[in-house]
A and B are shown apart, each in its own frame.
Chain A
Amino acid sequence: MNVSSRTKLIKRGAIWGFIVLELIFFSVAGQFLSLSETQFMDLDNMLLLLKQSAPIGIIALGMTVIMINGNIDLSVGAIFALCAIVMLDSQTWPIFAGLGETAIIPFAWGLALLTGMALGAINGLIVWKTGVDAFIVTLGAMLGYRGLVFMYNGEQPTFLLNWTLVDMIETSAFGLEVPAIVFIVMTFVIWFIMTRTVHGRNAYAVGDNREAAVNAGIRVGPHMLMNFVLIGFLTALSSIVFYSASGSVNPNDGELYELWAITAVVLGGTKLTGGSGSVINTLGGVIAIQLLRKGLGHIGADTETVNLVIGLILIAVLFLDRQLNIKGKGELRT
């Protein structure tokens, strides 16, 4: 294998290698530093990890698609909270008064999904029709949608406990709870879309060379709109999965979720400039971050340190990526 394809292979598999390193490191360090009796690489621990990764993970899947397009979505945190509010609060609406705890669930979920899709559609429509960059559009939406969240109930949490709902979410199959299952299933679905469908392949073209895509007849505007609806849908889905169990949402919930999602996507190797990336690697990025949290907790580090470490690792990854990218011919010192 020549140098460049070996480098490519390293880059593609890098995140998984990193995860293996983490597992080894924390397992070993845990022997010496851990306060608890259990092993780090305990099966239950790992399954729990998958479940805990799900909220940000599902959103990160959508973020991958958006970033492959060369766009970004900073409003997902706010959408996350708003969908939760709709799901919980709608169960108290008079229009659904007659339905029981079980029958109301599809409506609550349906409304939440619609909310997410609608909010995503607004972003997508603005990006399409005005030509304003997605960064700015979703920066504004992040503020605006958060404003809507506050307008709903002021600074009070929105609270509704539907035990049927809780039971549903907390069921498990093969040891995996619903959130983990949804995460894995959606990963597969998005992967399939991105690798096997025309829409998915076009996404890479749009991000790689937007002008070429336009000239080739790809309808870039509706395409990007669809992807914003997709991330809205996935954000709503994540919100449903999380809040069905918790039953209470604070107006500040979801804060910084967009940044975590972007971090996971970038760690997984997707380029900020678009045109390349893979949801499987985003899955890796999400797991790597969650593993880091768990691992640091396992060896007794406090939560503050987690932020510090994750931040530094992100930078280290960037640096390594740059080193691997230097072409053999010797770049100009510009």
Chain B
Amino acid sequence: MSTQSPALRLEGIVKTFPGVRALDGVSFEVLPGEVHALLGENGAGKSTLMKVLAGMHQPNEGRIFIEGQQVTMRSPLEAKAKGVVLIHQELSLAEEMSVAENIYLGELPRKRFGLVDRKTLLDKAGAILKRLNCGFGPDATVGDLSIANKQMVEIARALTVDAKAVVFDEPTASLTDAEKVVLFDIIRDLRERGVGIVYISHRMEEIFTISDRISVLRDGSYRGTLITAETDEDEVTQLMIGRSLDLTRNHAHTDFGDVALEVRDLSCDSLFQDVSFQVRAGEVVGFYGLVGAGRTEIAETLFGLRTPSGGAIYLEGREVRITSPVQAIENGISLVPENRKEQGLVLGMNCRDNMTLPQVGDLTAGPFVSDGAEVAIFDLYRDKLEIKTPSWRQLVGNLSGGNQQKIVIGKWLSMHPKVLIVDEPTRGIDVGSKSEIHNLIRDLAKQGYAVIVISSEMPEVLHVSDRIIAMYHGRIMREFTSEEVTEDNLVQAISGISTNGDKAA
């Protein structure tokens, strides 16, 4: 990188919302042909900064320069016209329409009288898809594509203009490893064309793989920039949270209790087959694997949301049939689901009511719900889990991600389950709260709960588990104790390579 003019430069950006100063004089730049990673805890301001860049918010103060020219962008369309494109976390596609129409959404090529110029549309779209080496054509329906391919369409949208800067916001959240490789190829291609790339992600391994520089935001202000090749995870983490993170491997202890949960040859059609494992009281078993490996589906089956096609489930030695969440709960199984906003919480209800929901039918005085009993439960778990909220009347939708997750965990702990399943315990949660939740999980194990943790983050699953079960395409490839697992053999297992080195069928 020479001393050329940055593709994109932000200077002293201030953005306030009522009551909150989201960005406090942030300066940031991206050089052409550079991949510049942007890190920060949730609430650090990354999202807001990107929205300012993409023209969705106007900054209260500060200036934006594209290729040295100062610009103001009042809408995403203007931003795109000036060469800045944002590839969102939530895809913004019209599922029932064709790929070509999505690529040119809002800018359909016209003939006279407002007619669509279909030939030009298909030709141009086809050309872009070819550049990206896509396996589908411009007239495919977007709704039929896989998530990775949908992301391709979003990227294709970015290429309809001569982009100077492209911002990727958590692009790998739902991708398999193979799809990630394709994505990184595209990023490298863009880089070679001189596009400046901003890469927002929580995943350190990716950042260290793909980026040239790393910038950190904390609490709305800019904390510093490091050159990737010259730094390490620890230094970056220090910048992000002001302290080092203890992600050492969890040391196994052997004082486990009896077998709380046993699963034998459990299958569910094509989702997972012949799954067998045990979880003891006081043990944390981690399930690791790629997206689509079947982990969440097993959890859903254990919780009664799916019907198994074969196999058996034993709780404390007794065989049980679980055909609904109600039955799962009765049998002592609780599930903290993957998606806390869509599955774990009623955002419009207050904290207390969310927490007491599964047992509200039992917290009664006569025919009515007992206020006192409910508040007692809330207070208990608010203290135990250190949930930060001004009062129980606060709507759960107003809490931070970490606190929301704690409400969900509190909800299920209050049911005193024998088996607690936690699916992606710290997804979308800032680093500080992450370690709190990890410690909480270890604590629960010490108290005698049998815990299953499903995770897509290797450091997390390594840190928290006593045993790790690696899955690939619906099958258990291998079980590791925490002493025998290494990053390498774990990755191999979940990629389908079994212990004797042969790739799985």
Q: Do A's and B's CB atoms come within 8 Å in the complex?
A: yes
Interface positions of A (Cβ within 8 A of B): 4, 196-199, 201-202, 204-205, 208-209, 211-213, 215-218, 275-276, 329-330, 332-334
Which stretch of B91-99, B198-206, B245-253 is in the interface? B91-99
A217 touches B306 (CB 8 A): no
Give which listed residue, B97, B270, B300, contacts A205 with CB less than 8 A: B97
B97 touches A204 (CB 8 A): yes
B114 touches A197 (CB 8 A): yes
0/1 string, B78-107, CB within 8 A of A gives 1:
000000000000001111110001000111
Q: Is the interface of B mostly helix, strand, loop or mixed?
A: loop
Interface positions of B (Cβ within 8 A of A): 56, 75-77, 92-97, 101, 105-108, 110, 113-116, 144, 268-271, 300, 304-307, 324
B144 touches A205 (CB 8 A): no
How many A-B pairs have beta carbons closer than 8 Å: the answer is 83
Give which listed residue, B75, B95, B113, contacts A208 with CB less than 8 A: B95
Residues of B within 8 A of A202 (CB): 106, 108
Residues of A within 8 A of B324 (CB): 333
Residues of B within 8 A of A209 (CB): 92-95
Who on chain B is nearest to A205 by CB?
A: B94
Residues of B within 8 A of A332 (CB): 300, 305-306
A272 CB, nearest partner CB in chain B, Å: 14
Give which listed residue, B76, B110, B305, contacts A198 with CB less than 8 A: B110
A69 CB, nearest partner CB in chain B, Å: 12
Who on chain A is nearest to B309 by CB?
A: A330
A212 touches B94 (CB 8 A): yes
Who on chain A is nearest to B106 by CB?
A: A216
Give which listed residue, B75, B116, B144, B300, contacts A217 with CB less than 8 A: B75
Residues of A within 8 A of B305 (CB): 332-334
* Given A330-B271, A334-B305, CB of A217 within 8 Å of CB of B76: yes
Q: 9 smallest A-B Cβ distances: which pairs?
A: A216-B106, A217-B77, A212-B92, A208-B94, A217-B106, A216-B105, A276-B96, A215-B76, A205-B94
Give which listed residue, A197, A211, A275, contacts B92 with CB less than 8 A: A211
Cα A209 to Cα B269 with chains together (Å): 33
Residues of A within 8 A of B92 (CB): 209, 211-212, 215-216
Residues of A within 8 A of B115 (CB): 196-198
| Most A C-beta atoms less than 10 A away, residue of B95, B116, B268, B307 | B116
Who on chain A is nearest to B144 by CB?
A: A4
Beyond contacts A205-B106, A209-B93, A216-B107: 7 other A-B pairs, Cβ-Cβ < 8 A, are A4-B144, A197-B114, A201-B116, A202-B106, A204-B97, A215-B77, A330-B268
B167 CB, nearest partner CB in chain A, Å: 14
Residues of B within 8 A of A275 (CB): 94-97
Cα A205 to Cα B305 with chains together (Å): 33
Cα A329 to Cα B306 with chains together (Å): 11
Who on chain B is nearest to A197 by CB?
A: B114
Give which listed residue, A218, A333, A334, contacts B106 with CB less than 8 A: A218
